[in-house]
């Protein structure tokens, strides 16, 4: 839980520094912190979040959701005299004739 809270705080700081740099760019004045320093902080925080997520995944602290097609179930036949084709339908399908009946 603490790890997720740290990641959320870092993401909000990324957005905060990005918008501070935007307002400095729109004003055009160099009062206070420079725009490049704020954008540099944003890049540093972004790299920190990415590195933190990769380390946490490697250490097993974070578990991602599996992909929808990642898990497959295989059905095996047991205790049958001879293997046969299995289908979802249990009813015997009648054979069709080729005669045109109208």
Single pTM value for the model: 0.58
Mean of all residue pLDDT scores within the chain: 81
Q: Check pLDDT > 90 for residue 6.
A: yes
Q: Check pLDDT > 90 for residue 99.
A: no
State the Cα–Cα distance between residues 4 and 8, nearest whole angstrom.
6
Q: For the chain, report the end-to-end CA distance as a whole number of angstroms.
A: 71
What pLDDT digit, counting tens, does each position of 29-78 carry? 776 778 889 899 999 999 999 999 999 999 998 888 877 766 666 777 67
The predicted pLDDT at position 94 comes to 65
The predicted pLDDT at position 49 comes to 96
Question: How many Cα atoms occupy the beta-carbon half-sphere of 81 within 13 Å?
Answer: 0
H/E stretch holding 11 reads helix 2-27
Please count the other Cβ atoms lying within 10 Å of the Cβ belonging to residue 17: 21
């Amino acid at each position: 839980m603490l790890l997720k809270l740290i990641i959320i705080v870092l993401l909000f700081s990324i957005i905060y520094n990005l918008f501070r740099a935007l307002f400095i760019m729109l004003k055009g004045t160099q009062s206070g912190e420079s725009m490049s320093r704020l954008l540099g902080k944003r890049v540093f925080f972004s790299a920190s979040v990415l590195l933190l997520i990769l380390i946490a995944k490697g250490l097993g602290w974070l578990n991602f959701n599996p992909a929808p097609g990642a898990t497959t179930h295989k059905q095996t036949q047991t205790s049958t005299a001879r293997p046969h084709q299995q289908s979802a339908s249990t009813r015997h399908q009648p054979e069709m004739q080729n005669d045109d009946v109208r």
